[in-house]
Every structure is written in structure tokens, then in C-alpha cells.
Amino acid sequence: MRVRLISVGSKMPGWVDEGYKEYSRRLGADLKLDLIEIPLNRRSKGADVNRLQEKEAGQMLAAAGQGDWVVTMEIKGKPWSTEKLADNMGGWMHSGRNVSLMVGGPEGLHSSVMAQADLRWSLSPLTLPHPLVRVVVAEQVYRAWSILKNHPYHK
Ligand SMILES: C[S@@+](CC[C@H](N)C(=O)[O-])C[C@H]1O[C@@H](n2cnc3c(N)ncnc32)[C@H](O)[C@@H]1O
């Protein structure tokens, strides 16, 4: 199965890139986690932020695979345990469909992306910075995969 992590923002600090790579590279051949970065347009003074967000949202939706499960990362989404994530992941694998996980930029996800959500996943009630979200998601995807594989990483 392929999981696309479609995330607004690029040119991350080294610790973000390293953290993401650390977990994504541990996954086995049956689960490929691909990061797709959507460049954040500059929010200069007087910019029409809604229009910029709309443009980024269009790029996010275009990056999702046809027929993918669309999972939006939302503070007000459903708070899944890692076991619940593993359960969902097992279901997605059985369905034969790939997954697109959507992470918004500084203002959050545009309504056009939220409208496409099959599921909404909350990591916590805290507002996390979007660079950190991709690292936590990669670690949780790896942890959930290790549950499905009976790998000792998840204790
Ligand atoms: C800095 S946050 C955006 C904050 C924005 N004010 C909002 O309410 O969504 C950037 C993105 O990170 C993701 N994110 C941040 N905290 C999260 C959390 N606790 N659970 C899930 N996703 C989160 C969401 O996709 C969000 O659009």
C-alpha cells in the first residue's frame, strides 16, 4: 500500500527532514510512505490568504491518488489510539486502495480539502506546528505497521 503524506510547506529544518526519514525508511516493502510537499505561497502583507489557501488546496487534491482514502489531519478530528490506527491501516490494506493523509499550512486545511475527507484524524487537542506533524505521523505509521507485523518496536 502507498500512503501519500501531502503536506503544505517545504524547505524544513534539518531535524524535521531527519526525523521524517528516520521513521519512513524503517517501513517494509508492503507499506510505502511518500512525502509530497506543497509549496507554501508567501503570505505578504495584503495578500488574499483565502485565495492562496485555495490554490494550495487544489495542488493537494491533485497530488492525491485517484480512489485513495482521504484522511485529513485535524485538531478536531477523531483521536485514534495507535492500535486504532493499526486497525484502520489493516482495513485500508485489505481494501486494495491507497491513502492520502492531508496536513494543512499555518491557517489549517482549506474547506475544499476537508470536504473530501473519508476520515479525520486528530493527533491531540494541541495545535502542533505542521513540520512536527509530519514527523509524528511518520512515527505513528511506523508504530502501527509494527503492530500489524508483530514487530517488537511497539511494546
Ligand atoms: C499549524 S496547524 C494549523 C492551525 C490552524 N489554526 C488550525 O486550526 O488548523 C497546521 C496543520 O497541522 C495539522 N495539525 C496540527 N495540529 C494537529 C493535531 N493536533 N492533530 C492533527 N493534525 C494537526 C493540521 O493538518 C493543520 O492544518
The answer to whether residue 6 is domain-embedded is yes
Q: How far is the CA of 86 from the centre of ligand 1 (A)?
A: 22
- pLDDT for 89 equals 97
The answer to whether residue 154 is domain-embedded is no
The answer to whether residue 70 is domain-embedded is yes
> CATH code at 76?
3.40.1280.10
Is 152 annotated in a binding site? The answer is no
Per-residue pLDDT 10s for the chain (155 aa) are 999 999 999 989 999 999 999 999 999 899 999 999 999 998 889 989 999 999 999 999 999 999 999 999 999 999 999 999 999 999 999 999 999 999 999 999 999 999 999 999 999 999 999 999 999 999 999 999 999 999 888 77
- pLDDT for 134 equals 96
The answer to whether residue 44 is domain-embedded is no
Is 119 annotated in a binding site? The answer is no
Q: How far is the CA of 127 from the centre of ligand 1 (A)?
A: 6
Residues flanking ligand 1, CB < 6 Å: 73-75, 103-104, 106-109, 122-124, 126-130, 133
Residue 27: give the domain boundaries: 2-38+49-149
This prediction has a pTM of 0.95
> CA 115, 104, 55: angle at the middle one, nearest 5?
75
- Give the pLDDT confidence of 8-24 residue by residue, as tens digits: 999 899 999 999 999 99
Map residue 50 onto helix, strand or coil.
helix
* Pairwise CA distance, residues 150 & 68, whole Å: 26
The answer to whether residue 10 is domain-embedded is yes
Is 148 annotated in a binding site? The answer is no
- CA torsion, points 19, 143, 30, 66, in degrees to nearest 10? -80
Q: How far is the CA of 150 from the centre of ligand 1 (A)?
A: 31
- pLDDT for 152 equals 83
The answer to whether residue 131 is domain-embedded is yes
The answer to whether residue 29 is domain-embedded is yes
Count of domains observed in the chain: 1
